[in-house]
């Protein structure tokens, strides 16, 4: 194979596809990309054997069609450090890949193409199409609430729950929960799927700039495929049963607080500086018209601040992990947030008036 391409044509796709490559590999070929050149098109594929990213570059000057592997991050770093509009020539040289631009010459090791472990697409039973904006909104509103390295491995993923005409995303770590939905024109079929954390991050990168473009999703019992423009993501799913998140959502509106989102978030960020380093606790005291935020740490340092709120109920006091509050307020789209508390010992409900399809739950610290 031999092709010539500009730095600008290569760099974006390389940066995206290399996102799937682990920095430390015990299997050398998993640090490589598979390149396929034919018909003025260059196809790049990267995989970690659990997820695969493939993107197509059109209008590439293909001198000789063929296939080869190349160390992905090294190729990306070389392109990153070339000057703008540089044209790079790539061609095999014995068991190496030769890269040339002007007076720059490099030879990168290649590996056997048949040894490259491509993921085979499954037989998909459910398919649906969403706009990039819709899927991006839902992902941003929920993905932050996933668990990290939780022994209950289903928490380390995002639930895609398709029921009738409603498509919902849910994320939780057992102490906080975020969910967002959109309604579909026709019933695509019922299917729950738990998407692994790494695949969620790559999916969000994929759709972030998609705008109103269509994003096609296909699901089987074990796999999900996503097509967006020239890029395809295939990922294995987490084999587990997600807990019934609907049981955690409180009903009724016993105590309702309305507060300015930005004001509350900035106050919490200031107070968090002196919160306990281990459990990150802040105390919230609600009285009619006022919210007092207080934190102290093991050195007996303390901070407090009082905010004006819209609340007409009885006095109450609760403690929360301040990071959970800040993370939630950071993804809320609107200027004001409605905070519903039914039981002081159970999760409270936070709703965004600007996005009624999204809601958040945070469990207080006892």
pLDDT, one tens digit per residue, over 320-353 is: 999 999 999 999 989 999 999 988 888 999 999 8
- Domain-embedded: residue 121: no
* Domain final position from 96, 115, 134: 115
Is residue 357 in a domain?
yes
Predicted local confidence at residue 75, as pLDDT: 97
What is the C-alpha to C-alpha distance for residues 363 and 366, in angstroms, rounded to an integer? 9
User: Do 306 and 289 touch, CB atoms closer than 8 A?
Assistant: no
* Mode of pairing for the β-strands spanning 290-296 and 302-308: antiparallel
Could you give the CA distance from residue 103 to residue 91 in angstroms, rounded to a whole number? Answer: 16
Intra-chain end-to-end CA distance of the chain, in Å: 64
Domain assignment present for residue 120? The answer is no
Tell me if 91 is assigned to some domain: yes
Contact between residue 157 and residue 170 where contact means Cβ atoms under 8 Å apart: no
Are residues 142 and 96 both part of a single domain?
Answer: no
Are 223 and 155 in a shared domain?
yes
Cα–Cα distances (Å) from 89 to 40, 106, 107, 189, 351, in that order, read 14, 10, 12, 47, 54
d(CA 285, CA 235): 45
Task: Evaluate whether 68 touches 91 at the Cβ level (below 8 Å).
Answer: no
Say yes or no: 162 and 220 in one domain.
yes
Q: How many CA atoms lie within 13 A of 304 on its CB side?
A: 9
> 243 and 261: one domain?
no
Domain membership of residue 353 as a residue range: 249-362
Do 346 and 270 lie in one domain? The reply is: yes
SS3 label, residue 26: coil
Sequence-ordered list of residues with C-beta below 8 angstroms from that of 189, at least 6 positions apart, any chain? 125, 126, 162
- Is 94 inside a domain boundary? yes
Say yes or no: 201 and 268 in one domain: no
225 and 310 co-located in one domain: no
Residues 70 and 28 in one domain: yes
Instruction: Express each pLDDT in 9-54 by its tens digit.
Output: 999 999 999 999 988 878 999 999 999 999 999 999 999 999 999 9
CATH label of the domain that carries residue 318: 3.10.150.10
Domain count, the chain: 3
pLDDT 10s per residue in the chain (366 long)?
A: 999 999 999 999 999 999 999 888 789 999 999 999 999 999 999 999 999 999 999 999 999 999 999 999 999 999 999 999 999 999 998 889 999 999 999 999 999 999 999 999 899 999 999 999 999 999 999 999 999 888 888 999 999 999 888 999 999 999 999 999 999 877 677 889 999 999 999 999 999 988 889 999 999 999 999 999 999 999 999 999 998 988 888 877 679 999 999 999 999 999 999 999 888 999 999 999 999 999 999 999 999 999 999 999 999 999 999 999 999 999 998 999 999 998 888 899 999 988 999 999 999 998
* 162: helix, strand or coil: strand
Picking from 218, 247, 276, the residue at the C-terminal end of a domain is 247
Do both 240 and 335 map to the same domain? no
Q: Whose CA is closest to 88, among 97, 79, 80, 96? A: 79
135 and 238 together in one domain: yes
In this structure, are residues 192 and 209 in contact, taking their beta carbons and an 8 Å threshold? no
Asked which of 115, 149, 164 is the last residue of a domain, the reply is 115
């Amino acid at each position: 194979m031999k092709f010539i391409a500009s730095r600008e044509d290569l760099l974006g796709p390389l940066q995206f596809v290399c996102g799937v490559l682990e920095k430390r590999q015990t299997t050398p070929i998993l640090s490589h990309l598979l390149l396929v050149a034919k018909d003025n098109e260059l196809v790049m594929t990267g995989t970690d054997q659990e997820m695969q990213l493939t993107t197509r570059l059109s209008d590439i000057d293909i001198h000789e069609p063929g296939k080869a592997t190349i160390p992905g991050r090294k190729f990306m770093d070389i392109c990153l450090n070339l000057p703008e509009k540089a044209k790079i020539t790539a061609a095999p040289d014995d068991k190496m890949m030769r890269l040339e631009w002007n007076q720059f010459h490099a030879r990168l090791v290649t590996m056997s193409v048949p040894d490259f472990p491509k993921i085979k697409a499954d037989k998909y039973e459910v398919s649906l199409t969403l706009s990039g904006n819709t899927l991006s909104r839902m992902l941003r509103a929920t993905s932050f609430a996933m668990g990290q390295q939780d022994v209950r491995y289903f928490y380390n993923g995002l639930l895609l729950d398709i029921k009738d005409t409603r498509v919902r995303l849910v994320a939780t770590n057992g102490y906080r929960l975020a969910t967002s939905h959109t309604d579909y024109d026709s019933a695509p079929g019922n299917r729950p799927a738990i998407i692994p954390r790494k695949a969620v991050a790559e999916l969000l990168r994929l759709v972030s700039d998609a705008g109103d473009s269509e994003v096609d999703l296909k699901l089987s019992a074990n796999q999900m495929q996503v097509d967006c423009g020239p890029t395809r993501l295939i990922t294995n799913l987490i084999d587990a049963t997600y807990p019934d998140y609907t049981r955690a959502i409180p009903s009724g509106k016993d105590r309702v607080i309305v507060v300015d989102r930005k004001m509350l978030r900035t106050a919490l960020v200031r107070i968090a500086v002196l919160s306990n380093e281990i459990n990150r606790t802040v105390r919230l005291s609600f009285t009619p018209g006022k919210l007092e935020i207080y934190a102290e740490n093991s050195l007996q340092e303390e901070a407090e601040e009082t905010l004006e709120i819209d609340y007409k109920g009885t006095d109450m006091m609760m403690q929360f992990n301040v990071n959970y509050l800040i993370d939630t307020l950071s993804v809320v789209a609107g200027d004001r947030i409605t905070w519903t508390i039914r039981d002081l010992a159970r999760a409270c409900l936070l709703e965004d008036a600007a996005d009624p399809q999204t809601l958040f739950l945070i469990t207080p610290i006892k």
